[in-house]
Structure 1
């Protein structure tokens, strides 16, 4: 992260005297550049409830950082930041991943955290970054993501890829791997996928191919893959999805 200073939120269970499991929360986009990491404490419209206090109630600490262009870093626009990096052959999504890798380093060294019980959670933008991060960071014992798991080639064919922000543009990615293949690299570690079939970012025609690939990876490698899918919900964490994710995380990090 160099010399850049920005905001983060750290939430711990009340009265806990011993080290606890911890979850890195990666915040959503939602065209709300003002929210950023505050999502962890105060929630956002797409979340059923704020994730940090909900995890703390189950004895799990959590950390969330403002991603570039959000919260305390909203002085630079997403478009400007993305273009500056693309011209250098880099991506804003890659910078976000690098900063979250550093956050995992921080958690793994924190005296109040059990370093062998780390997880990551995200919704929407945070979801994609969560399973991309889980694919390359083996210290993450559990990965939970909601409302952003789909095959990009199918989204492009359907004309729905432009619903994603420009931050997510990674030149050459599809020539190397699909989202289903990337998420499959998490196996055999525990993974939770939350989807709503009415979500324009995860229509069944784009979500199903990705699910087939990740399910194939778990069939081959073993491990726990939990799919929570709701046929009548959209781009939102429902009450049922929220509690299913919390149950999953508590069990996976126990």
Structure 2
């Protein structure tokens, strides 16, 4: 029997978090607006976030929670939404705003302004205390989702989530455990962990993703299957060392089975690209935009 969302939350040690807005500065960039935000987390520290949105509000509309990537570039963090990163075609925030989405990105622990603590140190401390760094990240993303849904320009029934690499992992894991996310599109991180261990590719992933006991109860494919019957787009490059083809196939078999069982197989799409490594492509970008146009 597949794992339940509640049991998965327990395994991940997802923390309860809340975000209180303490500062917001809006900027008109002509064809879109940017909001520079500062939040206070429920456990005390301030973190930064960014919103990109259309200039003119037309009432409640679609929104996206955007999770930033890792890439070993701890200095980037949430600024990825505005400035992009090497694995992306360009900055996603302005593109999504021109498409009509209110998009929020918050900074994850050990990145950007929070890089004063290393990922290794944060992951070890969490594990020694019976928690996980990934569970903390997911708890903070859930809090960001709550805040995003509270905005007057957001339709709570039309919120999606997206990201690349670590942002992709956060996106499909959070969607698996949080029914408020209506649709998810994720890039360059979908693979079966057991297969990664068998091939040695697991060591390419960050410490944040260390979850004790996870594979004794479930798999990545089953976790992504918890998203059914909601729409899900998976984009991968077949030359990406983090997502080798055997690990993609094994995961997708399990995910597709869940959609088949729900009678919603058309809601699941897999885009695989030959000769593509750990990066976004024009094909992926078009697929993601088309996906959210259809489902949000």
Q: TM-score, normalised by structure 2?
A: 0.84
- Where 1:46 maps in the other structure, the secondary structure is coil
Contact kept? 1:187, 1:222, Cα under 8 Å:
no
State the 1:49 CA deviation: 2.2
CA distance in 2: counterparts of 1:26 and 1:170, whole angstroms: 19
CA distance in 2: counterparts of 1:89 and 1:16, whole angstroms: 44
CA distance in 1: counterparts of 2:208 and 2:53, whole angstroms: 31
Deviations 1:96-122 (CA, angstroms, capped at 9, x unpaired): 000001011111111111111000001
CA distance in 1: counterparts of 2:51 and 2:283, whole angstroms: 25
**Structure with the largest fraction of strand:** 2
Pair 1:41 & 2:82 matched: yes
Pair 1:117 & 2:148 matched: no
Pair 1:129 & 2:163 matched: no
Contact kept? 2:63, 2:154, Cα under 8 Å:
yes
Structure 1: where are the runs of 5+ without partners?
none
CA distance in 1: counterparts of 2:82 and 2:230, whole angstroms: 27
Higher CA-based Rg: 2
CA distance in 1: counterparts of 2:243 and 2:225, whole angstroms: 17
State the 1:153 CA deviation: 0.6
Q: Following superposition of structure 1 onto structure 2, how do residues 1-254 of structure 1 map, counting pairs within 5 Å?
A: 1-2=41-42, 3-223=44-264, 224-253=267-296
Number of matched pairs? 253
State the 1:17 CA deviation: 3.3
Structure 2: where are the runs of 5+ without partners?
1-40
CA distance in 2: counterparts of 1:243 and 1:51, whole angstroms: 12
State the 1:197 CA deviation: 0.4
State the 1:222 CA deviation: 3.2
Contact kept? 2:163, 2:187, Cα under 8 Å:
yes
- Where 1:210 maps in the other structure, the secondary structure is helix
CA distance in 2: counterparts of 1:118 and 1:176, whole angstroms: 29
**Cα root mean square deviation, aligned:** 0.9
Deviations 1:142-183 (CA, angstroms, capped at 9, x unpaired): 111100000001000001110001111011111121000000
Contact kept? 2:53, 2:98, Cα under 8 Å:
no
- Where 1:145 maps in the other structure, the secondary structure is strand
